[in-house]
Copies of this chain bind each other. A is one copy, B any other.
Amino acid sequence: MAGNSIGQFFRVTTFGESHGIALGCIVDGVPPGIPLTEADLQHDLDRRRPGTSRYTTQRREPDQVRILSGVFEGVTTGTSIGLIIENTDQRSQDYSAIKDVFRPGHADYTYEQKYGVRDYRGGGRSSARETAMRVAAGAIAKKYLQMTHGVQVRGYLSQMGDVTCELKDWNIVEQNPFFCPDADKIDALDELMRALKKEGDSIGAKVSVVAESVPAGLGEPVFDRLDADLAHALMSINAVKGVEIGDGFSVVTKRGSENRDEITPQGFQSNHAGGVLGGISSGQAIVAHLALKPTSSITVPGRTINRQGEATEMITRGRHDPCVGIRAVPIAEAMMAIVLMDHLLRQRAQCADVVSQVPRW
C-alpha cells in the first residue's frame, strides 16, 4: 500500500535511506530447500556497486550483504529472509546547500509536497542507493529460476546518447565497465564519458534485458499480465522513463502481416512480441528495453527555488555518474527476475495440474 513492496507471492519489501544507518529488505515466499549463501547475493551487488570503475560514483562502500534469517544449515527454510547492508560511507557532510533547496529533476520537491518532511541527505529514500536491496533480492530469484528451470536473466547497455550497442556477444558484457555487448563501441562510450565528465553534464541511456528458457504459461490475464508486471517493475527503477516489450514503439509503423510471429512445427519464426502473447509467456525469450534519463546531478548550474519559493541556482557536486544507465543493468536484471519468479509461483499455485498436450519446442 505505501509502496515499499513488490510481487504477490515472491514478495520483496525494502527500507533504508541513502545516508541512513542501513538498507534492508525482507524477501518473502522463497520456497524451502534452496541452497543460499551471502556469496550468491554478493556477485550482483558487486556488479551494481558504486566505485567499480572510474565512470561510476566514487562512493566507496563494500556493500556487504548479510542474511539475517530464513536460511538454516545452508538452505532456505521457507520463512521470510531478512537482508541488511550497513551504510559505512555516510560521511558526515555539510547539507546546508541542499537542505532547503529543491534540486531540479530530483524528487526533492515532490517528497516535500507529499510528506511535508524529507530526509535531504543524499536524496534520502528517493536515492538509487535503495536499488542495492533490489539487486540482492533479485539474486535470490535469479538463482531459483536458474536452478529449477535453467532460466537465465541477463542485461546489457544497448545505447548511450547516440552510441548504439548491438547484442553481438554476451561474453563481452561482463568484460567492460559499460556492460556493452559490442567490443567495437567501447571506445566511443569511453570518449563520451570523458567529454561529459569535462562538461559536468550527463547523458541518457537505453538498457535491454533478456530472459531465456522461461517456461510458457507465466502471466495472469487480465491486469497482471507478464508484460504489464514487467513494465511496472522496470518503470519503478530510478530515472526510467520508458519501457518496451519486444519490438516496442517500432510496432507503431508496422503492418500486422509483418509484426505477427508466425508459428511452424519447428517453433515461432520470429520474436517481435518479446516472448509474451496476451500477457502470457510463450516460451520464447522475454525481451525488454528501458530508457533512462540523464541524471540531474550535474555541475551545469540550473534554476530552481528554495522552500520559501525564492529563485536560486543549483549545482550538484559530489560523487555522481555521468550516465546512471550503466549501473541500471544489474538492477533491471533483478527486477525482471523478481517478476518472473513471482509469476512462476503464481502459475504453480493455479495450474499445477495442467499437463499440456500442446507442442513445445
Do residues A9 and B4 form an inter-chain contact, with CB atoms below 8 A? no
Count of chain A residues with Cβ under 8 Å from any Cβ of B? 165
For residue A281, CB closer than 8 A to chain B, the reply is: yes
Q: How far is the CA of A277 from the CA of B321 in the complex (A)?
A: 19
Q: Given A202-B256, A277-B107, A305-B263, A351 and B32 touching (CB < 8 A)?
A: yes
Do residues A249 and B206 form an inter-chain contact, with CB atoms below 8 A? yes
Residue of chain B at shortest CB distance from A297: B256
Q: How far is the CA of A3 from the CA of B255 in the complex (A)?
A: 30
Do residues B114 and A294 form an inter-chain contact, with CB atoms below 8 A? no
For residue A16, CB closer than 8 A to chain B, the reply is: yes
For residue A210, CB closer than 8 A to chain B, the reply is: no
Interface-centre pick from A69, A79, A347 (highest chain B CB count, 10 A): A79
Do residues A16 and B69 form an inter-chain contact, with CB atoms below 8 A? yes
Do residues A217 and B113 form an inter-chain contact, with CB atoms below 8 A? yes
Q: How far is the CA of A16 from the CA of B357 in the complex (A)?
A: 26
A271 shortest CB reach to chain B, Å: 12
A48 shortest CB reach to chain B, Å: 16
Q: Given A31-B353, A69-B15, A114 and B307 touching (CB < 8 A)?
A: no
CB contact list, A26-52 vs B, under 8 A: 26, 28-33
Do residues B201 and A255 form an inter-chain contact, with CB atoms below 8 A? yes
A221 shortest CB reach to chain B, Å: 6
Do residues A232 and B228 form an inter-chain contact, with CB atoms below 8 A? yes
Residues of B contacting A73 in the complex (Cβ-Cβ under 8 angstroms): 117
Residues of B contacting A220 in the complex (Cβ-Cβ under 8 angstroms): 1-4
Q: Given A202-B256, A294-B255, A17 and B79 touching (CB < 8 A)?
A: yes
Do residues A28 and B9 form an inter-chain contact, with CB atoms below 8 A? no
Which of A53-61, A119-127, A169-177 touches B? A119-127
Q: Given A114-B351, A223-B4, A236 and B279 touching (CB < 8 A)?
A: yes
Residues of B contacting A78 in the complex (Cβ-Cβ under 8 angstroms): 2, 114-115, 117, 350-351
Do residues A29 and B9 form an inter-chain contact, with CB atoms below 8 A? no
For residue A110, CB closer than 8 A to chain B, the reply is: yes
CB contact list, A208-240 vs B, under 8 A: 216-225, 227-236, 238, 240
**B29, B201, B243, B247: the one within 8 Å of A2 (CB):** B29
Q: Given A14-B222, A114-B280, A302-B262, A79 and B125 touching (CB < 8 A)?
A: yes
Do residues A356 and B22 form an inter-chain contact, with CB atoms below 8 A? no
Fill in one digit per residue for A97-113: 1 if any B CB lies within 8 Å of its CB, else 0. Answer: 00000101111011111
Do residues A223 and B6 form an inter-chain contact, with CB atoms below 8 A? yes
Given contacts A2-B78, A110-B282, A263-B305, 12 further A-B contacts (CB under 8 A): A1-B220, A6-B223, A33-B117, A102-B263, A106-B277, A113-B280, A206-B252, A222-B236, A227-B235, A231-B234, A235-B243, A256-B300
Which 7 pairs, one residue from A and one from B, show the smallest C-beta to C-beta distance? A107-B278, A3-B220, A105-B260, A3-B224, A349-B349, A309-B359, A202-B256
